[in-house]
Structure 1
């Protein structure tokens, strides 16, 4: 069994747009797709995915920690890829300060996408499910846990609130 841990960020601006990385057409994973900024968590970052998230944001966008506000964990997503590849994704949401300069990386170009137009874009089903849930629960302070499954031959996310049963 392989366990892959990733940290990604959905960064918003004042115009209700989300920052995405448009993957190159020859990328090994999701070529041509819009994906959230982020990537694999390094072994020394396993206990603190927020550190990994900030590192990935800087590597892929050029944004520094001081250009981002309210970056906080909103989701933990579990997916099974094949028979022995478990993927755990720590999903953060935050805001980019006005007048922040973006740069693209070797992985693709960064671009702002209006939330209202996301349904017309090439994004993964996981991203689509996450954004739909976020829009309907934007004011919530909870951390949600999602597990991707198939329902009636279509991908679907099962959601639960992460909570401490002792309190």
Structure 2
């Protein structure tokens, strides 16, 4: 089985809207869909998903790292695709500086969406909806990292969530 890794960012503005990319219809991956900013992790980034995330942010939005506050790993989502590929998606959250200027790339157009816009939109993937739902209900209140396993329950997509924590007790000197 192949392994594919991706890094995406849910970038927020002061109104708690999230920046999304409307992929072009001719796009190879998710044509015509609204997706969070991000993409595939390159070979030299395998052990540094945040580095990949920052590269993708700059490529798709023109935003440099100094324009993003508190870019933090919040979710790792696992999924099997067609029994041939395991996908690992590292999901970061951050806040875009008010002074930042967005520059659209050739991949599509950028727009800010509210939670409701994302959940009710048919052009958003099930994985994205599940992450946004969980973050709105739980994740934004605790600052923890969650691991999710994507599955189907009665034909509907679902993610089973667990906390990613160190099981060893903290010892302070």
Q: What is the TM-score normalised by the length of structure 2?
A: 0.93
**CA deviation string 1:86-133 (max 9, x = no partner):** 110100000000031111112111111122322232200000000000
Query: RMSD across aligned C-alpha pairs, in angstroms?
Result: 0.9
The Cα of 1:2 is off from its aligned counterpart by: 0.6
Distance in 2 (alpha carbons) for counterparts of 1:6 and 1:26: 20
Counterpart CA distance in 1 for 2:143 and 2:105 is 32
* SS of match in other structure, 1:103: coil
Gaps of 5+ in 1: none
CA deviation after TM superposition for structure 1 residue 45, in Å: 0.9
User: What's 1:87 paired with?
Assistant: 87
Distance 1:30 1:45 in 2: 22
* Secondary structure, counterpart of 1:139 in structure 2: helix
Give 1:166 shift.
1.7
CA distance in 2, matches of 1:65, 1:119: 28
Partner of 1:108: 108
Displacement, 1:5? 0.8
Query: Residue 69 of structure 2 corresponds to which residue in structure 1?
Result: 69
User: How do 1:26-105 and structure 2 match up within 5 A?
Assistant: 26-105=26-105
Provide the secondary structure at the position in 2 that maps to 1:145.
strand
Whether 1:131 and 2:128 are equivalent positions in the alignment is no
What are the ranges of 5 or more consecutive residues in structure 2 without an aligned counterpart? Answer: none
Count of aligned residue pairs for this structure pair: 167
**Structure 1 outlier segments of 4+, above 6 Å:** none
Q: Specify the alignment match of 2:3 in structure 1.
A: 3
Normalising by structure 1, what TM-score? 0.97
Matched residues in 1 for 2:65 and 2:12: separation?
14
